[in-house]
């Protein structure tokens, strides 16, 4: 049975690192909303209008549906905030007959800001403006207990996830 693993967490929480560690263990493909935005000539760190995010989610949903229909597991790399987005992915997985898992990469705001500051020095990824990061952190909706998210703080925590590699 194919799986849809949805990552959730703020910018600079380490979601992409977790996705890159998780995908080979599950023989899964990564669908990154940041990469879709880049293909579309957009960058979330500059701020993206809501209608453009809607289109990016439509593209991601189509890609995920196609992969699941082919029997390929998928790791979705996105902030996955607000909750209605997580609920939508859960419904997509159910409709596709795929197992759904939510992984919340939970790091504090001080860590996020420290990582962003370090990124401004070594520029491993594109920057996020102060205004966009501040708004993102203020608006972020972490998973609630009824969502049964697996909480990790880094890719190293994945070793403790019981189903990894199954």
Q: Which of 11, 79, 22 is nearest to 60 (CA)?
A: 79
| Predicted model pTM | 0.91
Element (H, E) at 146: none
pLDDT of residue 163: 55
Query: Which pLDDT tens digit goes with each residue over 121-161?
Result: 887 777 788 888 899 899 999 999 999 999 999 888 887 76
Strand partners for 76: 6, 31
Tokens standing for 111? 């860590």
In the chain, count of helices (H) and strands (E)?
A: 6, 5
Query: Which pLDDT tens digit goes with each residue over 17-58?
Result: 999 999 998 999 999 999 999 999 987 676 788 889 899 999
pLDDT at 166 over 50: no
Distance CA 33, CA 77 (A): 6
């Amino acid at each position: 049975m194919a799986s849809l693993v949805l990552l959730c967490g703020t910018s600079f929480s380490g979601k992409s690192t977790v996705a890159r560690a998780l995908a080979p263990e599950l023989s899964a493909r990564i669908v990154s909303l940041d990469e879709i935005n880049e293909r579309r000539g957009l960058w979330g760190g500059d701020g993206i209008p809501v209608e453009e995010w809607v289109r990016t989610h439509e593209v991601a949903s189509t890609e995920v549906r196609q992969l699941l229909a082919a029997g390929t597991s998928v790791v979705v790399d996105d902030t996955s905030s607000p909750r209605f987005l997580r609920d939508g992915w859960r419904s997509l997985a159910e409709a596709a007959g795929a197992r759904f898992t939510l992984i919340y990469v939970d790091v504090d705001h001080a860590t996020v800001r420290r990582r962003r500051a370090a990124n401004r020095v070594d520029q491993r990824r594109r920057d996020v403006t102060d205004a966009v990061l501040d708004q993102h952190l203020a608006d972020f909706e972490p998973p609630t207990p009824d969502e049964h998210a697996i909480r990790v703080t880094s890719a190293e925590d994945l070793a403790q996830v019981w189903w990894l590699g199954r």
